[in-house]
Amino acid sequence: MKRYGQIIGVDPQQFEKYKAYHAAVWPEVLKMIELCNIRNYSIFHKDGLLFAYFEYIGTILKRHGKMQHIQNTGLVGI
């Protein structure tokens, strides 16, 4: 397992829109995350920054290959 973290800036004027968009994540997105071996995905907000954390089980190569296959076959409509 590998742990990943990201920091992303958010325009303060767009934050409410961001919250509304992410309040109910589409089931297809959650399924893609699961199929790509991503676990414990969390996003926190503080002072205009988003802090994302997730755990990945597998290899980078497998992750990218699986995401590409899912998108190409339309298994998950994203």
pLDDT band at 78 (very low <50, low <70, confident <90, very high): very low
Q: Is residue 78 part of a domain?
A: no
CATH number of the domain residue 35 falls in: 3.30.70.100
Per-residue model confidence as pLDDT tens digits over 35-76:
888 899 999 999 989 999 999 887 765 656 666 666 666 554
The structure tokens listed for 31 are: 């399924």
Count of domains in the chain?
1
Q: Is residue 45 part of a domain?
A: yes
The whole domain housing 68 covers 2-73
**What does the alpha-carbon distance between residue 70 and residue 67 come to, in Å, rounded to a whole number?**
5
Q: What predicted TM-score, i.e. pTM, was given to this entire model? A: 0.69
- Among residues 40, 42, 31, 38, the alpha carbon closest in space to that of 78 is found at 31
